[in-house]
Amino acid sequence: MESPSDWEDRLARWQNELELFEQLDETPWVTLAKAEAETGVSRSALRSWYRNGEIRSRLVDGPNGPQRLVQLDAVIERAAASPRIQRRAEREVSLEAQVALLRHRVDQLELRLAALERK
* 88 and 77 within one domain: no
The number of distinct structural domains making up the chain is: 2
Does pLDDT of 36 surpass 70?
yes
Inter-CA distances, 105 with 94, 96, 110, 112, Å: 17, 14, 9, 11
Q: How far is CA 56 from CA 15, 20, 47, 99, 104, in A?
A: 20, 17, 11, 36, 43
Same domain, 66 and 102: no
Chain centre to alpha carbon of residue 34: 4
Q: Report which of 55, 53, 59, 95 is spatially closest to residue 79, judged by C-alpha positions.
A: 55
pTM exceeding the 0.85 threshold for the entire prediction: no
For residues 60 and 103, state if they share a domain: no
CATH number at residue 36: 1.10.1660
For 41-91, the pLDDT digits (tens) are 889 999 999 999 999 999 988 888 899 999 988 998 888 887 777 777 677
The H or E element containing residue 81 is none
Whether pLDDT at 97 is above 80: no
Reported confidence tier of residue 25, pLDDT bands at 50, 70, 90: low
- Residues 9 and 23 placed together within one structural domain of the fold: yes
73 and 37 part of one domain? yes
Higher model confidence: residue 24 or residue 95?
A: 95
- Please indicate, yes or no, whether residues 75 and 36 belong to a single structural domain of this protein: yes
15: amino acid identity, one letter: Q
Mean pLDDT of the chain: 82
- Whether residues 36 and 88 fall in one domain: no
Domain residues for 108? 83-118
| pLDDT given for residue 89 in this prediction | 66
Instruction: Say yes or no: 63 and 30 in one domain.
Output: yes
